[in-house]
Structure 1
């Protein structure tokens, strides 16, 4: 049996920090959430967000109900780091600095080796008092000068060592900083499983409808994201949103809720312009069933609706 995924609760929000857990939720369970962090190598851009993943309440409720995940709090984050943890962190950063120095030397070694022929030729020209700029090095030499140039022997190993010695020592302030997407020294004893209650108590009818609709769409194998950008509650996709556009804009409604015709027309026109179908979803407590009603704007500018219930 697969271990449950830990959903990290922090200040009334629930996050996923682990890249492996993010991939598992998206690939195996169609949980999308919203990435709210920055990319480690491009921290100043704001087009492509990175971890952590902020989960919507409906997603958390579903994962807990299906026993896919559990909500936890990291107790060690509620208090200052211990002396042993601080020491471990210092040792870790020192190790990273050494590894980066080694990688820098290796990279420089590859650079020098790939340009060794040009470097050797330049050294020989300096010995003979010849110009070493690019323009003069491209000009052919007379026979006597070329023979003198060829007769000079350069120790490439010593030359390589000489070039590597020019590298300045890497300072701690110049070292790359690793952005962790999970606790590097995670201990299971440091987490506490907490109760997750949604909808809130006393029960909020609108939140209940939202969750029932979300759960029903998820069980119908749709990928679901927030529909706020199109004025809806959810967007329903036939596949991963990376590869597919949404088919439906979902509006969660109470079964006796009234709606002005002008607002209905406005929402239908919006959904038509973005090439999606507007769907009103209602939860019927008596039948414990979600019912859907779709609306589309026809070519003759009349409102066409059809009841689509299973």
Structure 2
């Protein structure tokens, strides 16, 4: 793509994102440009459109198109116990503090199709904490939330989930938590009783609860700097005094406007703790 063609593409991309915001109130204006370019090129092929202007016309005139487009506007890549060492770090640094609370609220932001939410529920059950915990699992993709709430995954993914669970320090067998039938694994409804799946946008919505832990992994990398700061500000405001924040392996608070509101708990595995009001951190 020539420089001129790239400029035209970016103009059309901006118009498409603005149109979605103005008509449907989904705000992707703060998403990273390079990532949006890649995903919209894939959308052009999927919907057999020759240009983003043609795609925009369809999105504006065919309401069902927005639902189909959400899988391209949002990134739905997840695994159970993804990056197992992160969950080991949670068990080591965060779980002992969580035990001190009579009741717990945890926010999984950008939960996609639910793998991280179920991972957290299983970890908490193994640690004896699930019965006193409410997990808020949020995303802006309605179809992803429906899949998450169903808790059904292809059976060919279970071997990878099982290995991740073992490496995360799991004290039980992952097979204790699902039933296999017809090529699918259906996770136990008892896990879902402690999870609330809900629509929430880090770009436009506000804090909805005080929580002891926010886990938002591999989401911030798709935001520009301004939207990253907004999201981290939401997490700070949602966290109780000395609450914990976990982010993705390729993400950092280092350049955020809110970096001074947190102290490192485990820098390697991106775990942070909110400073208390006196600023003494841990």
Pair member with larger Rg: 1
Q: TM-score, normalized by length of structure 2? A: 0.24
Between structures 1 and 2, the one with greater helix share: 2
Q: TM-score, normalized by length of structure 1? A: 0.23
